[in-house]
Amino acid sequence: MPQIGRRQWVIADGWIPPRSTGSDPALISHEAACILNATEADANVTFTIFFTDAEPQGPVSITVPSRRAWHQNLGELPAPVKVPVATDYCVLIESDVPIVVQHTRLDSRQAENALMTTIAYPGE
């Protein structure tokens, strides 16, 4: 399988909506880093969160298995990182193998849900 992706990614537009409409857990407002690890090795991925007016949090680590997709809810990163809702933030995502990262935001504050998605900024 061809090697695709990068080892560094940035999500520069982080903001988790503070409310949701309805009680379905699948429709709770959230943001996610959608990660593809197409390599033959597990990816050791770290997240560092940067804020406008506070010191960075992290890094915290997860493992994305080889040749798998992984959706990491950014409001549910491993402790001690806690991304507050309705707060501007950016995420630096680093991996020991090349990965691809896409950013999604589900905003269900209104009954007409909004879903935004974009490719993260690839670093080196």
**pLDDT, tens digit only, all 124 positions of the chain:** 667 999 999 999 876 776 667 676 665 666 789 999 999 999 999 999 999 999 999 999 999 999 999 999 898 899 999 888 888 899 999 999 999 999 876 655 556 555 555 677 677 6
Beta bridge partners of 122: 9
For residue 20, the model assigns a pLDDT of 65
For residue 64, the model assigns a pLDDT of 98
pTM to 2 decimal places: 0.86
For residue 19, the model assigns a pLDDT of 63
For residue 14, the model assigns a pLDDT of 78
Which domains are assigned to the chain? 6-122 (2.60.290.11)
Cβ pair 9, 122 in contact under 8 A = yes
